[in-house]
Chain A
Amino acid sequence: MVRGARWQERLARVGIVGLAWLSLLVVVLPLGLVVWLSFFADEIPALPPAGYSLRWYRAALGLPQFASGFETSLIVAVMATTAGLLVSIPAALVLARGRFPGRSVIVQVLTAPLIVPAIVIGAGMYVAFVQAEVATGLELTGNAATLAAGHALLTIPWCLRLLLANLAGLDPATEEAALSLGARPFTAVRLITLPMVWPGVVAAALFSFVVSFSNLEISIFLVVPGETTLPIAIFQYLQWKMDPTVAAVSTLQIAIVGLGLLLTNRFVPLGRVL
């Protein structure tokens, strides 16, 4: 009996560890393949590669649509992240402790974009902007602010979810202690509450940035020719060519995001908040 139980236990452990490695492989393998592919010398990727080269990196950096796409994506992501935090921090503070009528409705409305397909949001925003342009005569589409406004629909729910989860773990007594010691509510939030959920704020910013930076579905409705984001530039390039330039661009993108994560992790241990 005992021996049998041990044997089963060992099998179960091997199974779990194996499953974990398999999942990791499924996640990492495509990334690894992209990185590998970016160094292939051939124009049409084939296995095994004829040789290795850095020419696709040179090609990628030389193509203006990637450089400008990268710049636009960066600007839009920063704006969308800022907008997401500006809306969701005050909202989360109120929603986390308040018990007032309509509370859950507000949470639902603010997080609803997560359950609407992004392509629908994009189409909806496009129609709305065009209608607004017609009505006001102002030129609204085709700039970074419009894109950021669209992306904010994704960053707000992400930020709100993360911040609410962080605030839920916070003992309200800590803030009450600050109030009893003479801090006005705004001071208590600034000096006590926000520093305590700081890791959550950083995680929210990071998520928002990545979500916006890599977004394709909403952007595709809101860009104009000549003013595109990096994912769209990649997408458009792929429609014509299959050479490893795209793999090189993707590898650069992975490296930048990875570097950002590593840097963030130095200041805020991400394992604790994600």
Chain B
Amino acid sequence: MAQVELAGLTKHYGAAAAVDDVTLVIEQGAFTVLLGPSGCGKTTTLRMVGGFIEPTAGRIRIGARDVTREPPWRRNIGLVFQNYALFPHLTVFENVAFGLRRRRVRDPDLTRRVTAALDLVRLGEFATRLPRAMSGGQQQRVAIARAVAIEPDVLLLDEPLSNLDAKLRHDVRAELAALQKRLGLTTVMVTHDQDEAMSLGQNLVVMSEGRVRQVGPPATIYRRPIDRFVAGFVGRGTFLAGTAQGDVFVTARGARIACVALNPAATVLLVRPEAVRLRPPDAGFPQAVVQSAVFAGAAHEVALRLDSGEVLQALASGDPSTGQCYGIEIEPTAPVGLAPEQERMA
């Protein structure tokens, strides 16, 4: 277990920068998620930490070691791939034992550690099977056992859940979270799925165009996104153009939204759907009309047209129908004012 430090990490392919000056401290024992759209450089970053891509510039430290020029086989990392990458000709036991054998671990230690790793993913009785005789979820659990059996300094997960179907993804996700907490492994996962990122990550690193846009716990990223890109990529919401006037944001079309601690330079206001409360139309709040409603299980996702003509995304319990009128109350601490410098970056 160790802390991972990236300093000015850069990878150029010709003139194009896949990863551009990424400086980042990945906390020891924490679950960190690199999140971003495809092509944002998250996988390239992960593969540089793994030692499979040589950085153009910058340094990588794992604990006290500078591993920038170390080949993968000397880095002591656990790696889990999207498509499992199990050794098809070896049994589950031998798959998990592979890393230990390379470290010259002998019986009885070997069997004990392999069994322990398999028990960890509840596959103890599958030791003699071949990978192809197992389901995708089981195969990915074998891959996880194989990666943690060597007691890596850092566990790298490259979209580990993307090949699993929705139900299974949920199960393996929970299992992964529990396992990581139990072992206290420094873990870095790459994903483009924001739900996955928010539910697993203690820290999120939001990337785009090869750069880190924001680092922080999921709640902070969600509630206080630093710019329009982060706000749009993580979570949903409405972006309203306008200006800050004291603690009131006046939208371009004249709607007034009271906010607490509003950024005076804000030109765009982010309003998350759950910040919008629906009240009876006669309760004295500004009024809005339901423009569309989509059933989403626990609530309806509704689009509300304000008197100003602007449309707000919100969540409505009950059975809202198109054309219905509500009073609108916006939780004043929730909206985020985004200043133009921050927006221009997006």
Contacts and interface: CB of A to CB of B under 8 A. Distances in A.
Interface of A: 171, 173-174, 176-185, 187, 191-192, 195-196, 198
A180 to B, nearest CB: 4
Contact of A182 (B88, B89, B103, B156): B103
Interface residues of B, number: 29
25 contacts: A171-B85, A173-B82, A177-B86, A178-B87, A178-B98, A179-B52, A179-B72, A179-B73, A180-B50, A180-B75, A180-B78, A180-B156, A181-B98, A181-B99, A182-B73, A182-B103, A182-B150, A183-B73, A183-B102, A184-B73, A187-B102, A195-B89, A196-B87, A196-B88, A196-B89
Contact of A176 (B79, B82, B102): B79
B270 interface: no
Between A173, A182, A191, the greatest number of chain B beta carbons within 10 A of the residue's beta carbon is seen for A182
B77 A180 contact: yes
Given A176-B52, A195-B89, A196-B89, A183 B83 contact: no
A173 B83 CA distance: 8
A2 to B, nearest CB: 37
Given A183-B73, A183-B98, A183-B102, A177 B79 contact: yes
B85 A177 contact: yes
A181 B73 CA distance: 6
Nearest to B82: A173
Interface of B: 50-52, 71-79, 81-83, 85-89, 98-99, 102-103, 143, 146-147, 150, 156
A235 to B, nearest CB: 44
Task: Please give me the 7 A-B residue pairs with the lowest Cβ-Cβ distance, nearest first.
Answer: A181-B99, A182-B102, A173-B85, A180-B79, A179-B72, A177-B85, A173-B81
A136 B222 CA distance: 80
Given A174-B85, A176-B50, 20 more contacts: A171-B83, A171-B85, A174-B87, A176-B52, A176-B79, A176-B85, A177-B85, A179-B72, A179-B73, A180-B75, A180-B77, A180-B78, A180-B156, A181-B73, A181-B98, A181-B99, A181-B147, A182-B76, A187-B102, A195-B89
